[in-house]
Structure 1
Amino acid sequence: MTEPEWRILPLAAEHTYRLAECHIACWREAYPGLVPAHVLDAFDVERRAEQWERQRVTYPGRTWVALVDDRVIGFVTAGESLDDPPVTPLQLNALYVRASWYGTGVAHDLLRAAVDPSAACSLWVFEENPRAQSFYRKHGFALDGTRRVEAFTPAIEVRMVRPSGAER
């Protein structure tokens, strides 16, 4: 088996700006037509980098980046559930990979870096994102029937839950 081209590392200060660039690019690649253009256009790299730096300092060890050389090609963040009441103790808050890296295994590696494969976990995903839902099903997640409006858009999100030991 060959080594992947990327490295998965915990988020460090030197990654936050490139993570912000990746985060914005991922949204713009994945969500045209789902997220209003004015929302996608309004993202600011400097502001997003400041937000990621605050996250890094406040919640060390929760965010991981996939790097090729010094370029961030994907990221993941997970932590205690934000749902009230929580359906699982752990929640996957974000997992994004640049479109040119879809299907390479980098998303799988990121997920495993942030979430123990045997741990119960929940996440929210856009209802109209079958690609992401399919990926999560391959990792033991299933829709639980819960829906909500996403915080920054009028898009509907659905919750997916993986019980302990469910990943295949």
Structure 2
Amino acid sequence: MTENRWRVLPLTTERTRALADCHIACWREAYRDLVPAHVLAAFDIDRRAEAWERIRANNPDAIVIALADDLVIGFACGGPARDDSPVAARELNAMYVRAAWYGTGLAHDLMRAVLDPEVDTSLWVFEQNPRAQTFYRKYGFELDGTHRTEAFTPAVEVRMIRRAEFSSRR
């Protein structure tokens, strides 16, 4: 068995800026054809770092990062559902891997770190992102028919739900 070239760790204050840099890079890589270029260009690393630090401070166990040497190459964030009428107790708020690390197993390690197999979990994903939807289906997420417009763009998101009983069937 080969050893991973990364480590998955909880986010610390010292790494929030590196996480922000990774987040912006991942958005620009993954959503180039889904999100208007001016929106992607407008992301500000300082504001993203401040936002991630607030999330980390309010819920210190919610965010995990993947490090290769000292570079943040991916991250995931899960916590209480944020929908007005939640359909699951938890929500996968973010799951990103830098494009150079696609297909390495890194995303699997991040998902294992944030998913609680005993708790129903929801997430929102771009409707026009079949690659991501296929990835989430591997972990038991299924579309529930709910749509919304994403906050930063005119893109439509769809909700997926993973029921706790999925883990008992595996």
Greater mean deviation of Cα atoms: 118-127 or 148-157:
118-127
**What's the CA shift string for 1:18-64, capped at 9, x where partnerless?**
10100000000000121011100000111111111111111110000
Q: 1:2: how far off? A: 1.6
* SS at structure 1 position matched to 2:157: strand
**What's the CA shift string for 1:122-146, capped at 9, x where partnerless?**
0000001111100100000100111
Task: Answer whether contact 1:127 1:158 (CA < 8 A) is retained.
Answer: yes
The yes-or-no answer on 1:148 pairing with 2:148 is: yes
Q: Distance in 1 between matches of 2:120 and 2:103?
A: 24
Segments of structure 2 that go 5 or more residues without pairing to the other structure are none
Amino acid at match of 1:63: I
Q: 1:114: how far off? A: 1.1
Residue 100 (structure 2) aligns with: 100
Q: Distance in 1 between matches of 2:137 and 2:48?
A: 30
Residue 137 (structure 2) aligns with: 137
TM-score of the superposition, structure 1-length normalised? 0.97
Q: Distance in 2 between matches of 1:117 and 1:74?
A: 21
Residue 51 (structure 2) aligns with: 51
Q: 1:154: how far off? A: 0.2
Sequence identity percentage:
64
Task: Answer whether contact 1:8 1:66 (CA < 8 A) is retained.
Answer: yes
* SS at structure 2 position matched to 1:166: helix
Q: Distance in 2 between matches of 1:101 and 1:95?
A: 13
How much is the aligned-residue C-alpha RMSD, in angstroms? 1.0
Q: Distance in 1 between matches of 2:5 and 2:110?
A: 13
Residue 166 (structure 2) aligns with: 166
In the alignment of these two chains, the number of paired residues is 168
Q: 1:105: how far off? A: 0.9
Segments of structure 1 that go 5 or more residues without pairing to the other structure are none
Amino acid at match of 1:85: S
Task: Answer whether contact 1:118 1:166 (CA < 8 A) is retained.
Answer: no
Amino acid at match of 1:47: R
Q: 1:98: how far off? A: 0.2
Q: 1:119: how far off? A: 2.6
Q: 1:100: how far off? A: 0.6
